[in-house]
Amino acid sequence: MVSEVAAKRWVFGGGVFNCVVAFPFSMPFWHESYIRFFNWLNGFIGLGGNDWIPPVDGGNMLFLNTAGLALFLIGMILIYASKNISSRMEIALFNGAVRFLWAIAAVYYLVFHDIIKILYLIVFIDIILASVYLYYYFAMKYIDKEEGFY
């Protein structure tokens, strides 16, 4: 039988990951320091790629803050879904699908635009989370249906 507790923990963890990574991007005065932190970490580890340049105009800063808020909200939605995972696993499934799509887009920019390579770590984490969400969705929906999981 698939462990509902394990699925709950993975979805909760993915939500917390989203909140922690995205929140600094959502604040008008934090995103620049956060971007510089990513650049420093990338250089410290020696991964290469072009530094990420923080936006300087209001329109791009607002767009970055809006994206940060949206990712933070998605993290909160995952935390919410984890509280009753057996009836909300579809939320994690849809999030996993978007994580796969984001990973494809990120790898494109990593390869063809030589952005900071530390983002490979986030791509790796997102692919793991997406794969786990996919596994638990189908395991809970189809494998355990006969055993009364739902």
Domain definitions of the chain by residue range: 4-143
Residue 1 pLDDT greater than 70, yes or no: no
Q: Is residue 146 predicted with pLDDT exceeding 60?
A: no
- 14, pLDDT greater than 60: yes
In this prediction, residues 8-14 reach a mean pLDDT of: 98
Rounded to an integer, the average pLDDT of 84-92 is: 95
Asked if pLDDT for residue 43 goes beyond 90, the answer is yes
Instruction: Name the DSSP class of 116.
Output: -
Handedness of CA 106, 107, 108, 111 (dihedral sign): positive
Confidence class of residue 149 from pLDDT cuts 50, 70 and 90? very low
- Span 108-143, pLDDT tens digits: 999 999 999 999 999 999 999 999 999 999 998 887
pLDDT, mean over the chain: 94
Contacts of 89 (CB under 8 A, 6+ apart): 7, 11, 81, 133, 136, 137, 140, 141
Predicted TM-score of the model (pTM):
0.89
Residue 2 has a pLDDT of 73
Give the mean pLDDT of 12-41: 96
Residue 8 half-sphere exposure toward CB, CA atoms < 13 A: 10
pLDDT of residue 125: 98
Give the mean model confidence (pLDDT) for residues 103-107.
98
